[in-house]
Structure formats: structure tokens, C-alpha cells
Amino acid sequence: MVGSAPTASQAAAHEALFGDALACDEVRPAAFLTGSTSGARLRVDAANGEALLRALAIVEDGLRSEEPEPGSDNTMHRLEAKLDLLTSLVAGLVPAQDTLALLPLRWSARGACLRVDTPVPAGSVGTLRVQPVDWLPSTLVLPVRVLACELVDGLWQLWLRFDSLPPALEAALERHLFRIHRRAIAETRRR
């Protein structure tokens, strides 16, 4: 928000989404799409999003000590996760997927903030599509509600609250954002 002081609605939306939550600032392939989605579609998107984030966690970090199942082999879990991601990648190549634009994105497990070309009224519902990692073109599709929309430096800044995420998906998203945050700190220390 360079060049202008935040308005009351911007400050309230920012506090609601990022107040005491871990938030990450990234440039990610992302898009906001307006319109409501059916309950069945929301459940499918939530299940796919949770599976994607869990597989990414296993591939990137391996199983943590609090996650192993009795008698399980971490190597087997990692291999299964890699196969799940490969299957997702191949499935995504069959239908031509929309190309997402690279956008500056601030997000937490509560919601996201990004800038778009056209205004969207507060209270509108839609979905946030975001590619969570660079090396896999799979996307998360998250239901959102617009908390605020204001013109900032020639673009419309949207504050989007995640709407009715299942607890397991919210927890997986929180862990994903924590890994991003941890990598950013490690990168800073290496400099």
C-alpha cells in the first residue's frame, strides 16, 4: 500500500485476515474468480486441496515425528506422496488448464490479499485459485468472501476471507505457510 494511508475498511480487513496469524508475502500464480460454487464442488475442491498440501508436506519435509503411523515406513510415504503428485500433474496436463498470472499475494490460513484489474463489491463470494509451489502446476481452489475492495496504486486490492474451509484443510494450509515462512527465514540467514 505504498503511497496512501490505509482506510478504516482496509485496516479492519487486514486485522481480520492477518492480525495474529502467520502470513506470507509471495509472488504466486493466482486468480480470483467471482461467483458461488455448489456444495458438492466445494467438498471436492477441499478434499483435493487437502490432499495436495499433505502430499507437498511429505515430499518437501518428509513425515514429522508427530505424524508417523505405527509400523509405517517414511520412505514408502514419501514415495506414495510423489506418486500422488505425479498423478495430479499428469491429470492436469490432459485438459488445458487456465494460465494463472503471477500476482503479489499476502496470505494466511484465514485469507488472502491480492490486486486485480476490476473492482469487486465487498460481500461478494468467489474462489481464489493459487499454485502453492513453483515446481508443480496444480492449484488450490479455495472459497472466499470479499471483505474489502479499494483502489490502491491503480489496481483494486481485494481482501479475501476463506469461507468455510474444513478444519483439516485449514490446518494443512497453515502448515504449508509455516514451511514457506521457515524457508524465507533460512534464505535470509544465508545472505
Asked if residue 2 belongs to a domain, the reply is no
Asked if residue 69 belongs to a domain, the reply is yes
Asked whether residue 100 carries a pLDDT value surpassing 60, the answer given is: yes
Determine how many CB atoms are found less than 10 A away from the CB of residue 110: 20
Please count the structural domains in the chain. Answer: 1
Asked if residue 56 belongs to a domain, the reply is yes
CATH number at residue 46: 2.40.10.220
Question: Regarding predicted confidence, which is higher, 92 or 170?
Answer: 170
Query: Angle formed by the axes of helices 39-61 and 74-93, to 10°?
Result: 130
Asked if residue 140 belongs to a domain, the reply is yes
Asked whether residue 190 carries a pLDDT value surpassing 70, the answer given is: yes
Query: Domain residues for 122?
Result: 8-190
Strand-pairing partners, residue 156, are 116, 151
* Residue 171, pLDDT score: 95
In the three-class reduction of DSSP (H, G, I as helix; E, B as strand; rest coil), residue 177 is classed as helix
* Residue 138, pLDDT score: 87
* Residue 7, pLDDT score: 66
**CA of 64: how far to CAs of 54, 68, 157, 173, 181, in Å?**
12, 7, 37, 16, 17
Stated as kind and residue range, the H or E segment containing 132 is none
| For range 38-44, the mean pLDDT | 86
| For range 88-107, the mean pLDDT | 72
Asked if residue 29 belongs to a domain, the reply is yes
Asked whether residue 159 carries a pLDDT value surpassing 50, the answer given is: yes
Taken as a whole, the chain contains a residue count of 191
Convert the pLDDT of each residue in 110-146 to its tens digit. 999 999 999 999 999 999 999 999 888 889 999 999 9
Asked if residue 165 belongs to a domain, the reply is yes
Nearest alpha carbon to residue 165 among 57, 16, 56, 49: 49
Asked if residue 62 belongs to a domain, the reply is yes
| For range 101-113, the mean pLDDT | 95
